[in-house]
Amino acid sequence: MQKRFMAIWFRHLLTDGLTRRRQELKDLPFVLASPVKNRIIIVAASAAAEKEGAFTGMAVADARAAVSELMVIDALPDQAAVLLRLIGLGCIRYTPSVALDLPDGLLLDISGCAHLWGGEREYLKEIVLKLRAAGFDARAAIADTPGTAWAVARFALRRPIIASGGQAAAIATLPPAALRPKPEILENLHKLGFNQISPLLAIKSQILRRRFGQSLLLRIDQALGHTEEYLQFLVPPVPFTERLPSLEPIRTVPGIEIAIEKLLEMLCSRLQAEGLGIRKAILKCHRIDGRKVQVGITTTKGSHSVSHLLRLFKLQIDKIEPALGIELFVLEARRTEEMETVQEQLWSESKGLGDTSLAELLDRIAGKVGDAAIQRFLPAEHHWPELSVKLAGSLTEQPKTAWPELPRPIRLLSTPEKIEVMALVPDHPPKLFVHKRKRHTIAKADGPERIGREWWQDSGEHRDYYVVEDTEGQRYWVFRSGHYDGSDATWYLHGYFA
């Protein structure tokens, strides 16, 4: 079978990844920057930034002079590798052989795969359109060798599909950079006037080796197919799934419990060996009438305790309708997390949130009243109070910033509610306010506490917050939006104290 390869090139890979997560940056000029030898250098630039004169490799100080409204974002280490790996794992649906081509591409061995999509042209079109629909600016090419596919994807303007045996003609008119030479070799080629690959193909290999070394000759042979290029393909993670077929259809609750217990014993032994615990598990029950019913559980903390997980699944068995009987059970661990080995202690010590019994209690409560009934919040680095908290991903997640030491209400409204206020002097705390047709006369007030907007995200008025107490002893958190400009000020209720 003739070998065929596809190369995918992502232009602005890092900025495309940011655009998918931050829609507000979609059309703005922004760059990713990293310190290099006492200077801040651009490692990736958005298309809008490049149009205005900011390019990869440029110093941020020079880019700011060229682009007045340039936004600079710190580049995270190995961000390209992480993003490419996720895209590569998604491409395994098209071929089982996908290799990373850092820092901005993928190489796919598509031998014997293209006919499933109606040919190479439809195959290439399907992949590229999927990637572009996901927000990535991608180009692709197909050839007999990874080197030729790589060169055509990045440097050829037309004909992305190279016929078998047409490698030499495909790369002949391309610049020497299409051969992937080392930077110093590429610089020497430009100094000697090599602007295309075709003159290099006409020179004898002995001369090329003596003048430029073996590496350039190897790249040419790899592109032409004279030397095989070995790729290191991605290995998809093994799913934590266990299957249990039944000889006779199961219809009773005890039978379902026994099946779940056996599945948990098999799955938890695997997880325990790898130091993992279940955070989310799905039980799929395939009935003999062809239909499938499923139930799921979630845990507050990773667990591979069969007894605890079985207890959670027993709370969900009432939702399973076996009908004429279940012939296959499938248990999947959708989400797992690493677990620390707990050392036995000779004395009793309070473990706080790390106590396993606390996590198991929360799991049982969530199984009865629902996952949304139990939530844990952590502080977030935002000025606006409604944005300054976030949901914790796990019971053991630690805050990255401290809680504010200023007084905050126990109940904070997600959206401030407008109120009618009367104040003796416009910039003073209110004497009374009306909320939901109820009048509250203020007996005591403390403030103001001014909270400004985050200027790098949006623009608008600041807020002046007051802690007020009415004559009934109830305490509220209210604020005036912006300065008093001579017209009626706008006031809001934002929270309730105990």
Q: What is the pLDDT of residues 181-190, one digit of tens each?
A: 988 898 888 8
Residue where a domain terminates, one of 338, 354, 389: 338
- 218 in any annotated domain: yes
Which pair of structure tokens corresponds to residue 184? 């110093």
Contact call for residues 246 and 326 (beta carbons, < 8 A): yes
Task: Please check whether residues 214 and 254 belong to one and the same domain.
Answer: no
- In sequence order, the 6+-apart residues with CB closer than 8 A to the CB of 379 are 388, 389, 390, 399, 401, 402, 403, 404
* Domain containing residue 9: 1-28+69-237
Task: Please check whether residues 153 and 221 belong to one and the same domain.
Answer: yes
CA–CA dist 431, 429 (Å, integer): 7
Task: Please check whether residues 143 and 180 belong to one and the same domain.
Answer: yes
**pLDDT exceeds cutoff 90 at 405:** no
CATH code for position 182: 3.30.70.270
**Nearest CA to 212 among 227, 233, 194?**
194
Helix (H) / strand (E) element for 195: namely none
Task: Please check whether residues 16 and 144 belong to one and the same domain.
Answer: yes
Q: Average the pLDDT over 185-210 and give the result.
A: 88
- Give the count of beta carbons closer than 10 Å to the beta carbon of residue 5: 25
**pLDDT exceeds cutoff 90 at 490:** no
Task: Please check whether residues 269 and 283 belong to one and the same domain.
Answer: yes
- DSSP letter at 177 equals G
pLDDT tens sequence across 285-301: 999 998 999 999 988 88
Give residue 296's Cα distance to chain centre: 23
Task: Please check whether residues 76 and 151 belong to one and the same domain.
Answer: yes
Give the pLDDT score at 43.
79
**pLDDT exceeds cutoff 60 at 351:** no
- 199 in any annotated domain: yes
Give the pLDDT score at 347.
47
Looking at the chain, how many residues does it have? 498
Place of tokens 């591409």: 105
pLDDT tens sequence across 355-401: 567 777 777 777 777 767 777 788 887 887 887 888 887 777 778 87
Taking all residues of the chain, what is their mean pLDDT, rounded to a whole number? 85
Residue where a domain terminates, one of 309, 338, 367: 338
CATH code for position 302: 3.30.1490.100
pLDDT tier at 103, thresholds 50, 70, 90: confident
**pLDDT exceeds cutoff 60 at 22:** no
Give residue 38's Cα distance to chain centre: 31
Task: Please check whether residues 276 and 334 belong to one and the same domain.
Answer: yes
Task: Please check whether residues 229 and 269 belong to one and the same domain.
Answer: no
- 36 in any annotated domain: no
pLDDT tens sequence across 302-343: 888 899 999 999 989 999 999 899 999 999 999 888 876 554
Task: Please check whether residues 152 and 246 belong to one and the same domain.
Answer: no
Give the pLDDT score at 375.
77
pLDDT tens sequence across 449-474: 888 877 666 667 888 899 999 999 99
Task: Report H helices in 292-407.
Answer: 306-314, 356-369
Q: What is the CA radius of gyration of the chain?
A: 31
Helix (H) / strand (E) element for 289: namely none
Give the chain's domain count.
3
Is 368 exposed, middle or buried (CB count within 10 Å of its CB: 0-12, 13-18, 19+)? exposed
Give the pLDDT score at 8.
95
**pLDDT exceeds cutoff 50 at 346:** no
- What angle, 0 to 180 degrees and rounded to 10, lies between the N-to-C axes of helices 146-155 and 214-224? 90
Task: Please check whether residues 95 and 214 belong to one and the same domain.
Answer: yes
Q: What share of the chain in percent tops pLDDT 70?
A: 90
Give the pLDDT score at 341.
56
pLDDT tier at 204, thresholds 50, 70, 90: confident
Give the pLDDT score at 487.
62
Task: Please check whether residues 179 and 80 belong to one and the same domain.
Answer: yes
Amino acid (one-letter) located at 382: H
Residue where a domain terminates, one of 237, 269, 286: 237
SS3 assignment, position 330: strand
